[in-house]
Amino acid sequence: MSIQETPVTKNDIVEVEFKDLSHDGAGVAKVEGYTLFVPYGIPGETARVKVVKTKKGYGFGKIIDVLEESEERNTPPCPIFYKCGGCQTQHITYDSQLKFKQKQVKDVMERIGKIDVPIHEVLGMEDPWRYRNKAQVPVGEEGGKIVAGFYQQRSHKIIDMDQCLIQEQENDRVLEVVKGIAEKYGIRAYDERSHRGTLRHVVAKYGKQTKDVMVVLVTKQKDLPNRKNIIRDITKQVPGVKSIVQNINPKRTNVIFGDETRVLWGNDYIYDTIGDIKFAISARSFYQVNPDQTKVLYDQALHYAGLTGEETVIDAYCGIGTISLFLAQKAKKVYGVEIVPEAIEDAKRNAELNGISNAEFEVGEAETIIPMWKKQGIEPDVFVVDPPRKGCDESLLETILEMKPKKVVYVSCNPATLARDLRILEDGGYETKEVQPVDMFPHTTHVECVTWLVRK
């Protein structure tokens, strides 16, 4: 076989056995050493597969029929699972999803981090359905009718949905009501190709403990026809609604929110609690979408921090102060830093809301603010990081190594960048003690981890 040739070409039909799952949940099979990624394949199964695309080192296929079915195969309860891009693994039993996520973390620790460390079983949910407290879905038109739902996998086609089995039912109600209102008053959906239309996205937020509901209408322009009637209909038809908000996004972009937000009716915030901490949630503030598992995640971070009440803690990437306020319950002092000004305003408000006076928050890049704190004589005993998917900024890791805290607690939403960063910290004098994965997003391929490191 020459360098250009592959053992299969487009439209070939081949019989394969799936040996593994890829990081995005596709079955992985080999044909004469050539890798094929096939959605909905499960390790241990054999299937007839049609090759749909080939590249130099790997290709993609789709299942025609499964010849030998795995015991781990599940009938997805969602009628649009195979069209919608919201979930990736409903076709796999929940226990098997958790094992797959544990294996995913183990694999990257060995391959990227070159670290041999205990990876605990994933902490899953007793009932892994109806857990998401926020829905944000694009709105479109099909056959002259308003549709709203997630995009089809690898496309910008909206799959209309009446309900989503991983969303709180209150959010389904919001989408149903807003679609009906748009039809009733002739509000046109935004079309991203022509850049015409009014309603771009509907965002629903729900406080699980408080039962508060916020409805956010993202529109292309400020003018919202029939505004009074829309407000009246939403307040009549959505139980628990406390806030109706309009966000204006006039740009040609896939980004959901624009810069201008205004409250049309009700309060600026809704509220929810995680453990003993109460949080104010605005239209644009970040709040964890699975509060039950967030409590599990933060309890684990608190356990690894091992606070006695005498420690100074730095929380880099503190967001709206969720972890900071959890830590402040047990620490002497917590310093939080975050680059988003609105998030820091929310963090300060949340500290005040809970009567927490031993947490301070500052806006800026962690790698700039923290060295400034060091010059002021702030010496952390524990360093907590919860970075975005891209992982920690390299200069922040250098700052941690310079400040030499006794412990580092790393909360991660991306095992690959976690493994990369752990390698840097290990090389700089830290030992990774253990990794605890937590399933924040059942029926998807995402996995969160809490990692505990100590200075050697």
By CB atoms closer than 10 A (0-12, 13-18, 19+), residue 170 is buried
What is the pLDDT, as a whole number, of residue 407?
98
pTM above 0.75, yes or no: yes
Q: What is the pLDDT of residue 1?
A: 43
Nearest-10 Cα torsion for 275, 278, 280, 284: -20
Q: Is residue 152's pLDDT more than 90?
A: no
CA atoms within 13 A on the CB side of 79: 5
Provide the 10 A C-beta neighbour count for residue 106. Answer: 17
pLDDT at 286: 87
Residue 12: strand, helix, or coil: coil
Mean pLDDT to the nearest integer, 282-309 = 95
Does the pLDDT value for residue 396 go beyond 70? yes
Q: Whole-angstrom distance between the N-terminal and C-terminal Cα of the chain?
A: 51
> Would you say residue 272 has pLDDT above 50?
yes
The catalytic position among 78, 87, 164, 413 is 413
Residue 2 has pLDDT above 90, yes or no: no
Strand ranges (E), 275-422 = 277-281, 312-316, 333-338, 359-363, 382-385, 407-412
92-117 per-position pLDDT tens digit: 999 999 999 999 999 999 999 999 99
User: Cα–Cα distance between 386 and 337 in angstroms, integer?
Assistant: 11
Tens digit of each residue's pLDDT (9 = 90 or more) over 421-452: 999 999 999 999 999 999 999 999 999 999 99
- Identify the structural domains of the chain with CATH numbers, from first to last: 13-68 (2.40.50.140), 101-126+290-455 (3.40.50.150), 134-268 (2.40.50.1070)
Query: Angle at Cα 167 formed by Cα 166 and Cα 168, nearest 5°?
Result: 125
| Phi, psi at 158, each rounded to 5° | -80, 125
Share of the chain above pLDDT 70, in %: 99
Instruction: Give yes or no for residue 273 having a pLDDT over 70.
Output: yes
Taking only the tens place, the pLDDT of each residue in 348-363 is: 999 999 999 999 999 9
* pLDDT of 195 over the 60 cut: yes
The DSSP-derived string for 38-65 is ETT--TT-EEEEEEEEE-SSEEEEEEEE
Tokens encoding 429: 């004098």
* Under 8 Å between Cβ of 270 and 243: yes
Residue 4: what pLDDT?
A: 57
Q: How far is 19 from 41, CA to CA, in rounded Å?
A: 9
Structure tokens at 431: 């030992």
Annotation marks residue 164 as catalytic: no
Q: Which amino acid is at 376?
A: Q
Return the structure tokens found at 372. 């400034």
